[in-house]
Amino acid sequence: MGLFGFSKNARIALNMRPANRPWGGGNQWASQIASFLGSRGYEVCYNLNAPLDCIIMADPRPEGLVSFGVEDIENYKSRYPETPCIHRVNECDLRKGTSHVDAILKSANGIADFTVFISDWLLHYHAEKWFDAKKPHAVIYNGADTKIFNPLGGRVYRRGEMFRIVTHHWSDNRMKGFEDYRQLDEVIAGGSLPGVEFFVIGRWPAELKWKKAVTSPPTYGRRLAHLLRQCHAYITASKWEPAGMHHVEGAQCGLPVIYHRDGGGIVEAARRYGISFDGDLPAAVNAAMENYEELRRKALDLMPSGDMMCWEYLRVIQGLVCTKKK
């Protein structure tokens, strides 16, 4: 390259290939990051077949959308030790009552040069178990694609009309809050919450039979955002969630969030524009209706943002690429 030539584009390997179909929040993150980096002149790939400037390990488990794993990264770094690896930590055992995830993350983190946790709650959780907080790390909260998940054209609640509450989940794990959703459905069906409708989008446990809830199959993208904007408030009863993307998508559509007090990383965002509950869900629903105007204003002012999330990842990537050893 001459003095006035152009430098090559930085090449980033992401170990999660986005899927253009309904999936979990990790897929939405990967899709945003890949698109954002590409629009900023970065070359994004999903393999380790050529020299790289940076590796992002979104999930160390070789399953689902994951295109290469820890062993592959170790083999690559044995040849190119100067290439930095970012480990995005977005899981824990407490979330789904498992007993192996924390150990997998701890083992995989040994290959990382920098670690990103998706909430302060998750950082503290793993720091108490295995992560050394003296190692380079950052907390970058989830955000959804603002081109899709935004409040423009959303339904605004007017006193006297039906108050629409919505939730959506790709996972049908009961820890996502389905017992609370079942109870809400029964309370509405029993007439104890007049003027309230409950909408459920996605998947749920096979044994769960809804009595009054309006259901829709799994969807994503613009169709999902449209359905969310037809409602007035979002509910998440998920417990000990590392951060989650479902409630973020709801909030970015302008919906105040009704959330469980033990929501883990969810609480960090939802407490800014929502109502918490722990047992008395009907009271929280009534509080959300009563304070809707104020909560909606807060949601519009304080909602998460996929744009801000992507910029924070870009700063981390640029810092590592520009300071890596030659």
> Are 105 and 171 contained in the same domain?
no
Look at residue 149 and tell me if it is in a domain.
no
> Are 168 and 118 contained in the same domain?
no
> Are 291 and 316 contained in the same domain?
no
CB 203 within 8 A of CB 172: yes
CB 282 within 8 A of CB 299: no
Burial of 30 (C-beta count, 10 Å sphere; 0-12/13-18/19+)? buried
Look at residue 4 and tell me if it is in a domain.
no
**How many domains, in total, are found in the chain?**
2
CA distance 310 to 128: 28
pLDDT value of residue 20: 76
Q: Which domain holds residue 23?
A: 11-143+306-323
> Are 293 and 317 contained in the same domain?
no
> Are 109 and 44 contained in the same domain?
yes
> Are 171 and 191 contained in the same domain?
yes
CA distance 93 to 177: 16
User: Which residues of the chain carry a pLDDT beneath 50?
Assistant: 1-7
Q: Quick one: how far is CA 147 from the chain centroid? A: 16
Look at residue 255 and tell me if it is in a domain.
yes
CB 73 within 8 A of CB 111: yes
Look at residue 156 and tell me if it is in a domain.
no
pLDDT value of residue 96: 84
Look at residue 222 and tell me if it is in a domain.
yes
> Are 182 and 112 contained in the same domain?
no
Look at residue 84 and tell me if it is in a domain.
yes
Look at residue 5 and tell me if it is in a domain.
no
> Are 133 and 228 contained in the same domain?
no
Give the angle 164-165-167 at the CA atoms, nearest 5°: 140
> Are 39 and 51 contained in the same domain?
yes
SS3 assignment for the chain: CCCCCCCCCCEEEECECCCCCCCCHHHHHHHHHHHHHHHCCCEEECCCCCCCCEEEECCCCCCCCECCCHHHHHHHHHHCCCCCEEEEECCCHHHHCCCCHHHHHHHHHHHCCEEEECCHHHHHHHHHHCCCCCCCEEECCCCCCCCCCCCCCCCCCCCCCCEEEEEEECCCCHHHCHHHHHHHHHHHHCCCCCCEEEEEEECCCCCCCCCCCEEECCCCHHHHHHHHHCCCEEEECCCCECCCCHHHHHHHCCCCEEEECCCECHHHHHCCCEEEECCCHHHHHHHHHHCHHHHHHHHHHHCCCHHHHHHHHHHHHHHHHHHCCC
> Are 207 and 114 contained in the same domain?
no
> Are 243 and 117 contained in the same domain?
no
pLDDT value of residue 8: 67
Tell me the CATH number at 208.
Answer: 3.40.50.2000
CB 40 within 8 A of CB 65: no
Summarised one tens digit per residue, pLDDT across range 178-211 is 999 999 999 999 999 999 999 999 999 999 999 9
Look at residue 272 and tell me if it is in a domain.
yes
> Are 171 and 137 contained in the same domain?
no
pTM for this entry: 0.93
CA distance 128 to 138: 16
